[in-house]
Amino acid sequence: MAPSVIQMVRQRVYQIAAGYEDCNDADFLRVDAALRLALGKDHRFGASQSMVSRFENDILGNANFGE
């Protein structure tokens, strides 16, 4: 099952708060027990690096900053 939008936002925020500013570490962190617990994933994995990157690019790519 694919992660929900809320889970992907949480994963990205928690990664940044933990000092992982880039999406590159998402593949490593998606199996981390503490992150999965924070996301409410229990035994399932978090989003992969490619999913987090696409999500972030979709959001930031559609934003009209300063326009």
Does residue 41 lie in a domain region? Answer: yes
pTM for this prediction:
0.77
Has residue 19 got a pLDDT over 90?
yes
Does residue 5 lie in a domain region? Answer: no
| Residue-wise pLDDT tens digits, 33-65 | 888 888 887 768 888 999 999 988 888 776 665
pLDDT at 67: 58
Does residue 1 lie in a domain region? Answer: no
- Residue recorded with tokens 């593949």: 27
- E strand or H helix at 34: helix 33-39
pLDDT at 13: 92
> Containing domain of residue 46, as a range?
12-60
Number of compact structural domains in the chain: 1
Does residue 3 lie in a domain region? Answer: no
